[in-house]
Structure 1
Amino acid sequence: MQPTAVPHPQEAEYEDLLGLWSELEAGLSTLLLRPRQVAEFPRKVRQYDRWMQDLLQHDMDTGLYLLYQLAANRTLGYSSAHALVCSVLCHVLAAELALPPAERDSLVGAALTMNLAMTALQNRLAEQAEAPTAEQKAQIDEHAHAGGALLERLGVDDALWLQVVASHHDALPVAALDSLAPAQRLGRILQVVDRYAAMISPRKTRAARSVIETVRALLGRGEGAREPVGMALVRAVGLCPPGSFVRLDSGEVALVLRRGSQPNHPMVATVLGRHGEKLQTPRLHRTSYGGPAIQSALTPDLLRNRVRLNHQSLLRQALQAERIHGA
């Protein structure tokens, strides 16, 4: 695999960047569906990890925007899309939580491959209207330990990577992250990311949850409200990440374009007026500058077929505005 030639966001077509993310996801799908046919499997996983990092390094907000759009609009090929979303969020969290580089690599490797033993089944379940059969439930129950064993047979010799995959559905102690053993700490991070990514993605049997509803479900109430991984995720990608739709307290609907200096103050583009009318020209608004403020997050299915946007133009305008004025 050659190094990824990633165009600068200000020069690239939206379709070019989306195409690169789609190519990454398609290649990952092949890798995960037929791992036994892949020579030097661990090296291939690391190559996809580096490809992902190349895309994110050029502009994290554009990468998150495209990724959330992918997650919110995909059910076909769900397993690889889910793996990609989880690996990106783990990469972002590794920086937010200041994980050592070796732990970061093990965590992202585990995120990419945690469902390796049930890739085809996971794709079917996303499209399946009926409840899992007894045979499917047995495969679901066994997939974590089976995945760890399969990775070892494929040549993965990173003990932490293997441990995290094998135990990513195990009950973990409720304790501060820095007091946990490395495998438990990374397992805790992966569990939160796995749930978050699953909730924001649609299934045949249910619509995706809004990002704010998802965060509330992760953080819970009382003691759970101090869940460090969930809080770190909100700090890193925002309460409403790029690519998500929100309702403003003015009644207007907006699309989040870039993160702000605070998790609840992103840059948005207003796309529907207060009476639901489509705006001919979306208006950029930095919520950190004052009202209107974000009132709630919206699920993407509510806006499907109602809004057609020039994503390329919006992303360019947002990037230019940030460079001139700041977030």
Structure 2
Amino acid sequence: MKLVELNLATIPFGQPIPFALRGVGGSLLANKGFVIRSAEDLRILLARGQTLFVDTDESGDSYRAFLAQIQSLLLSDKPLNQIANMTMQTTAAPVESLRDSGPPAWREWQLGLTQLLRNPQPGDFAQRFEDLFSALNQYLLKTTDGTLLALMQMSAEETRYYSATHAMLTAVVCMTAARETLRWPDNRVLPLGRAALSMNIGMAQLQDDLAQQTTPLSPQQAQEIDTHSDSSVAILRSMGISDPLWLDAIRAHHHRAPGKLAEKTLGQQMARLIQRADIFGARIAPRANRDPMSVTSAMQASYYDETKSMDEAGAALVKALGIYPPGAWVRLASGETGVVIRRGASAATPRVAVLLNRDGMATGEPIPRDTAQAAWKIVSPVAHKEVRVRLPLEKLLAL
């Protein structure tokens, strides 16, 4: 048996696969002719096999024919949208969804960024990254609360693709704080967002592995974590990325450097924002060996610096997102429990969709509440794990 890892970006949706798909160790995941109809089908296979492989001893001829077909398409004069119909081009979906003025296909964005961070290719990395980043930024500008809600929910519920989800959440949190609180212009905000989205490319696979790992770090893993900032910069340089602000922000994003933002270089200011958002995002995400923090506790952790003083960058995040940002679960004075769907006039008075009544029973349909009113004032945060009712992400976003 000779296993070759399959490039996930080449897998066609809705067409029979011309070879068997195998997982780690060669376990059979799908026979020849299996049809992967959607990104969800692909996620299920990846959950079972971790990575997809082809046994070239078993399917060498059909695999080579498949690669030849992909190569001929890329070398042909066919428009890219026709090629995208035959292969899974993960950046096409976000761009198209924005053109149609509909919500993004969040799960496909998640999978697309996972592929991009785990397996960057010099030939198309810069364009694919920019397409995905631009789509994310456009949707953030269109509906900041909806973007935060989607990524907070995904962070709380999904661990297999932690690296991509965490990167998207960190990027939108940073860009929101930079725009709304610090009033930075786009020539600062956009490099900041790109840096946050790619900060962990040097350890993307490891991040996803650690989210599932219950054993202590090995020495090799610890070293990879310690050096990932420099590794990420080196990888991005090899992909053709040369923006000094982008790279400086990544290089310094784990430096412990409390103090006023004005006393730092612009790259260091960006790095500090990324670090504070990184802390917040990491603490609300579950791991196999620990439960996540409540959103409000994670906000508090990003607010204070290494000396237990107020951190200027952390304070900018809290001011922009509020004490209870979209995606946070809360209990109201009425005894009801709900999820924040929109920021309010003040940091402590967001709009909430109630999903559990005062007796802890599901309401069936979400009930909107304005927490600026005394009857529905927020009295406490609620940990995500304590909530036994779930609404599909699409229904929450529709609110």
- Does TM, normalized by the shorter one, top 0.5? yes
Q: What is aligned with 2:230?
A: 145
1:24 aligns to 2:109 (yes or no)? yes
Question: Which deviations, in whole Å up to 9, do the C-alpha atoms of 1:58-117 show, x marking residues without a partner?
Answer: 322222211111111010011111111111112212202122322222211111111111
Distance in 1 separating the partners of 2:337 and 2:243: 46
> Which of the residues 249, 254, 258 maps onto 1:164?
249
**Partner letter of residue 68 of structure 1?**
M
Partner letter of residue 58 of structure 1?
A: K
Aligned residue for 1:248?
332
Residue in 1 aligned with 2:212? Answer: 127
Rounded to whole Å, the distance in 1 between the matches of 2:326 and 2:198 is: 25
Give the unaligned 5+ runs of structure 2. Answer: 1-90
SS in structure 2 at match of 1:160: helix
Report the residue type matching 2:239 in the other structure: L
Distance 2:231 2:340 in 1: 39
Q: Choose the corresponding residue for 1:103, options 188, 209, 223.
A: 188
* Structure 1 unaligned residues grouped into runs of 5+: 319-327
State which of 96, 99, 114 in structure 2 corresponds to 1:4. 96
Give the 3 Å change call, closer, same or farther, for CA 134–237 of structure 1 in structure 2.
Answer: same
User: 1:187 Cα deviation (Å)?
Assistant: 0.9
What root-mean-square deviation, in Å, do the aligned CA atoms of Structure 1 and Structure 2 show? 2.2
Equivalent residue, structure 2, for 1:189: 273
What is the 5 A alignment of 1:1-327? 3-6=95-98, 17=103, 20-35=105-120, 37-96=121-180, 97-172=182-257, 174-220=258-304, 224-303=308-387, 306-309=388-391, 312=394, 315-316=397-398, 318=399
User: Which SS does the other structure have where 1:288 is aligned?
Assistant: coil
Cα distance in 2 for partners of 1:217, 1:313 equals 30
> How big is the shift at 1:238?
1.8
| Contact 2:150/2:397, CA 8 A, preserved across alignment | no
User: How far off its partner does 1:44 sit?
Assistant: 2.6
Contact kept, 8 Å, 1:71 with 1:82, in 2: the verdict is: yes
Using the alignment, how far apart are the partners of 1:68 and 1:179 within structure 2?
32
1:310 and 1:130 mapped to 2: Cα distance? 32
Contact map agreement 1:8 1:58 (CA 8 A) in 2: no
- Give how far 1:210 is off: 0.5
- CA spacing shift, 1:188–1:281, aligned 2, 3 Å: same
Q: Secondary structure at the match of 1:129?
A: coil
Instruction: State the Cα distance separating 1:251 from its structure 2 match.
Output: 2.4
User: Counterparts of 2:111 and 2:319 in 1: how far apart (Å)?
Assistant: 30
Deviation of the 1:314 alpha carbon? 5.4
Tell me how far apart the structure 2 counterparts of residues 77 and 41 of structure 1 sit (CA, whole Å). 19
Q: Which amino acid in 2 is paired with 1:131?
A: P
* In 2: Cα distance, 1:116 partner to 1:99 partner: 25
- 1:136-173 Cα distance to aligned partner (Å, 9 max, x none): 1111111111111221122111011111112211222x
The amino acid of 1:146's aligned partner reads S
Deviations 1:183-222 (A, max 9, x none): 1111110100110000011111111110111122222499
Larger gyration radius, structure 1 or structure 2? 2
Change (3 A) 1:314 1:290: farther
The answer to whether the Cα contact below 8 Å between 1:4 and 1:51 also exists between their aligned partners in 2 is no
**Equivalent position SS for 2:97:** coil
The count of residues paired between Structure 1 and Structure 2 equals 306
Structure 1 284/30 Cα, relative in aligned 2: closer, same or farther at 3 Å? Answer: same
The structural deviation recorded for 1:278 is 2.1
Q: Per chain length, whose mean CA-contact separation is higher, i.e. which structure has more relative contact order (CA < 8 Å, sep 6+)?
A: 1
Instruction: Give the Cα–Cα distance (whole angstroms) in 2 for the partners of residues 314 and 141 of structure 1.
Output: 38
Q: Aligned residues: percent identity?
A: 32
User: C-alpha displacement at 1:313, in angstroms?
Assistant: 5.3
Distance 1:313 1:25, change over 3 A: closer
State how far apart, in whole Å, the 1-side matches of 2:192 and 2:376 are: 39
Residues 221 and 147 of structure 1: is their aligned pair in 2 closer, same or farther, counting only changes over 3 Å? closer
Indicate conservation of the 8 Å contact 2:259/2:311, yes or no. Answer: no
Q: CA 1:210 to 1:153, structure 2 compared with 1: closer, same or farther past 3 Å?
A: same
